[in-house]
Amino acid sequence: MTALSGILAAIATAFDDNEQFAEAAMRAHVRRQLEAGVHGIFALGTNGEFYAQSAAERAEVARVVVDEVAGAAPVVIGAGAITTRETVAIARDAAAAGADALSIITPYFAAASQPEIEYHFRAVAGSVDVPVIVYNIPARTGVNVAPATLERLAEVENIVAVKDSSGNFDTILQYLERTDRETFSVISGNDSLILWTLLAGGTGGISGIANIYPETMAAIYDRFAAGDIDGAREVQDSIRPIRNCLALGNPNTVVKHAANVRGAAVGPARAPFTMLSAEAQAQVRETVAADLARGLR
């Protein structure tokens, strides 16, 4: 795999009311995404609450997702951790489960220097035989993958893409300027920047909002690919109300609540990330109802 394109659904991990992995609900959620036309599945990322699960739990989720997708679309598994040693172990588990690619978040909590970031990604990529995606989300990790660092990492044979969730469009532009668009994919991890990333030369988006509106998110790419830029922009603009709801609490918690409102049955986030005020819950319900009335699906 040298290129990733389209909309990859950053799927939530389904839990039951006791916060245990709910396999049947997870399989149903994966099928829902595929039937809606998403172009790939991204499991155990930020929306997948990788940070709230043990290595053994993550290995089980990866196995279930790969099994349910059954080759119908590319499967990317989030395999990041704080240390290189732990990341390598989790990455090998995910590769053994059959992942088509691995997303590796930058080390977090202890701020890594750029040389340390580069070492980390090179070591992880060298430990597996599957493609690796660099996951940049500085608001959550406290560190940013500098464009010059990414340029060097893109020279590693199996480091094939970057998922940028910085929200800084200039970072995406610099990543594009410093990498080979024929062999390296620049993907938006921010739902609001998907179309603009495509227009700039990126290849798609990894979407948390797809948990709620998978058909709508897939349509951004489909319309773009068909040359319908105005139509793609209309769809891109249509997700602004639900995106605004992410400010009501932990964004992963809001997405799960909205997905549940839509009937996805992905359950709660793991505590303590479970608390949305009654007012926030009402606003999410009202927004989803209005979105459905406007044709979002």
Beta-carbon-side half-sphere exposure of residue 14 (alpha carbons within 13 Å):
18
Please report, to the nearest 10 degrees, the dihedral formed by the alpha carbons of residues 211, 216, 218, 224 taken in order.
Answer: -150
Of 163, 175, 213, 256, which residue is the catalytic one? 163
- Annotated ligand binding at 172? The verdict is no
Query: Of 135, 175, 213, 221, which one is the catalytic site residue?
Result: 135
How is the chain classified by DSSP, letter by letter? -----EEEEEEPPPB-TTS-B-HHHHHHHHHHHHHHT-SEEEESSTTTTGGGS-HHHHHHHHHHHHHHHTTSS-EEEE---SSHHHHHHHHHHHHHHT-SEEEEEPP-SSPPPHHHHHHHHHHHHHH-SS-EEEEE-HHHHS----HHHHHHHTTSTTEEEEEE-S--HHHHHHHHHHS-TTT-EEEE-SGGGHHHHHHHT--EEEESGGGT-HHHHHHHHHHHHTT-HHHHHHHHHHTHHHHHHGGGS-HHHHHHHHHHHTT----PPPTTTT---HHHHHHHHHHHHHHHHTT--
Q: Which among 68, 88, 71, 70 is positioned nearest to 80, based on CA atoms?
A: 88
Active site residue 163: yes
Phi then psi for residue 100, to 5 deg, are -80, -25
Binding residues for pyruvate: 206
Give catalytic residues, as residue numbers. Answer: 135, 163
Binding residues: 206
